Structure 1
Amino acid sequence: MAITLSFCITFFLIFSRGTMSSSFGSEITNPSSGFAFDLYQHVIKGKEQQNVVLSPLSIYTALGLAYMGAGGRTKEEMASVLRISTNATESKESFRRLLCKYKASSMLSIANKVYVQSGKNLQPSFVEASEKVFSSEADVINFSQSDVAAKTINSWVESKTNNKIQNLIDPSNLDSNTMMVLVNAIYFKGFWKNQFRKELTKKADFWTSETESVKVDMMSNNKAHYPYGVFEDLDAAAVELPFRDEDLAMLIILPNSKTGLPSLEAKLRSMDLFKLRQRMHSEEVIVSMPKFKIEFSIELNDVLSEMGMSSMFSDNADFSGLLNSAEPLKVSKVIHKAFIDVNEEGAEAAAATGIMIARMCLILSREMVCDHPFFYALLDTKSGDIIFNGSIKRFKSE
Structure 2
Amino acid sequence: MNLLYPTTYAFCITFFLIFSRGTMSSSFGSEITNPSSGFAFDLYQHVIKGKEQQNVVLSPLSIYTALGLAYMGAGGRTKEEMASVLRISTNATESKESFRRLLCKYKASSMLSIANKVYVQSGKNLQPSFVEASEKVFSSEADVINFSQSDVAAKTINSWVESKTNNKIQNLIDPSNLDSNTMMVLVNAIYFKGFWKNQFRKELTKKADFWTSETESVKVDMMSNNKAHYPYGVFEDLDAAAVELPFRDEDLAMLIILPNSKTGLPSLEAKLRSMDLFKLRQRMHSEEVIVSMPKFKIEFSIELNDVLSEMGMSSMFSDNADFSGLLNSAEPLKVSKVIHKAFIDVNEEGAEAAAATGIGIMAVSAVFPPPRTNIFKVDRPCIYAVKSQSEIHFIGRVTYF
Seen in structure 2, the aligned counterparts of structure 1 residues 220 and 159 have a Cα distance that, compared at 3 Å, is: same
Q: Deviations over 1:187-235 (max 9, x none)?
A: 0000000000000000000000000100000000000000000001111
Seen in structure 2, the aligned counterparts of structure 1 residues 241 and 7 have a Cα distance that, compared at 3 Å, is: closer
1:54 equivalenced with 2:58 (yes/no):
yes
Deviation, structure 1 residue 166: 1.1
Deviation, structure 1 residue 359: 3.0
Contact 1:9 1:354 in 2 (8 A): yes
Matches within 5 A, 1:28-177: 30-177=34-181
Contact 1:24 1:80 in 2 (8 A): no
- Name the CA distance, whole Å, in 2 between partners of 1:30 and 1:39: 14
Identity in percent: 93
Q: How many residues align?
A: 386
Contact 1:41 1:269 in 2 (8 A): yes
Seen in structure 2, the aligned counterparts of structure 1 residues 300 and 23 have a Cα distance that, compared at 3 Å, is: closer
- Name the CA distance, whole Å, in 2 between partners of 1:220 and 1:112: 38
Seen in structure 2, the aligned counterparts of structure 1 residues 327 and 152 have a Cα distance that, compared at 3 Å, is: same
Aligned residue for 2:334, secondary structure, equals coil
Contact 1:6 1:13 in 2 (8 A): no
Deviation, structure 1 residue 14: 3.4
Cα RMSD (Å): 5.4
Deviation, structure 1 residue 28: 7.5
Deviation, structure 1 residue 13: 4.0
Q: TM-score, normalised by structure 1?
A: 0.91
Q: Deviations over 1:17-75 (max 9, x none)?
A: 35999999999783442211110111011111110000000000000000000000000
Aligned residue for 2:229, secondary structure, equals strand
Seen in structure 2, the aligned counterparts of structure 1 residues 148 and 318 have a Cα distance that, compared at 3 Å, is: same
Seen in structure 2, the aligned counterparts of structure 1 residues 7 and 321 have a Cα distance that, compared at 3 Å, is: farther
Deviation, structure 1 residue 269: 1.9
Seen in structure 2, the aligned counterparts of structure 1 residues 219 and 21 have a Cα distance that, compared at 3 Å, is: closer
Aligned residue for 2:131, secondary structure, equals helix
Seen in structure 2, the aligned counterparts of structure 1 residues 363 and 87 have a Cα distance that, compared at 3 Å, is: closer
Aligned residue for 1:332, secondary structure, equals strand
Aligned residue for 1:58, secondary structure, equals helix
Q: Deviations over 1:227-255 (max 9, x none)?
A: 00000111100000000000000000000
Aligned residue for 1:32, secondary structure, equals helix
Q: Deviations over 1:107-157 (max 9, x none)?
A: 000000000000000000000000000000000000011111111101100
- Name the CA distance, whole Å, in 2 between partners of 1:28 and 1:21: 37
Contact 1:24 1:79 in 2 (8 A): no
Contact 1:53 1:389 in 2 (8 A): yes
Aligned residue for 2:36, secondary structure, equals coil
Bigger shift: residues 260-269 or 296-305: 260-269
Deviation, structure 1 residue 344: 0.2
Contact 2:221 2:295 in 1 (8 A): yes
Deviation, structure 1 residue 159: 0.2
Deviation, structure 1 residue 10: 3.6
- Name the CA distance, whole Å, in 2 between partners of 1:25 and 1:205: 37
Q: Deviations over 1:149-192 (max 9, x none)?
A: 11110110000000111111111111100000000000000000
Aligned residue for 2:342, secondary structure, equals strand
- Name the CA distance, whole Å, in 2 between partners of 1:172 and 1:90: 38
Q: 1:371 aligns with which of 360, 369, 379?
A: 379
- Name the CA distance, whole Å, in 2 between partners of 1:21 and 1:252: 39
- Name the CA distance, whole Å, in 2 between partners of 1:28 and 1:76: 20
Contact 2:285 2:366 in 1 (8 A): no
Contact 2:278 2:389 in 1 (8 A): no
Aligned residue for 1:7, secondary structure, equals strand
Contact 2:9 2:345 in 1 (8 A): no
Seen in structure 2, the aligned counterparts of structure 1 residues 149 and 361 have a Cα distance that, compared at 3 Å, is: farther
- Name the CA distance, whole Å, in 2 between partners of 1:26 and 1:135: 32
Seen in structure 2, the aligned counterparts of structure 1 residues 28 and 376 have a Cα distance that, compared at 3 Å, is: closer
Deviation, structure 1 residue 358: 2.0
Contact 1:17 1:360 in 2 (8 A): no
Bigger shift: residues 111-120 or 266-275: 266-275
- Name the CA distance, whole Å, in 2 between partners of 1:229 and 1:206: 22
Q: 1:393 aligns with which of 380, 395, 399?
A: 399
- Name the CA distance, whole Å, in 1 between partners of 2:86 and 2:353: 23
Q: Deviations over 1:288-345 (max 9, x none)?
A: 0000001100000000000000000000000000000010000000000000000000
Seen in structure 2, the aligned counterparts of structure 1 residues 237 and 148 have a Cα distance that, compared at 3 Å, is: same
Bigger shift: residues 312-321 or 8-17: 8-17
Aligned residue for 1:156, secondary structure, equals helix
Contact 1:255 1:361 in 2 (8 A): no
Contact 1:313 1:332 in 2 (8 A): yes
- Structure 2 spans left out of the alignment, 5+ residues: 1-7, 369-375
Bigger shift: residues 165-174 or 17-26: 17-26
- Name the CA distance, whole Å, in 1 between partners of 2:45 and 2:75: 27
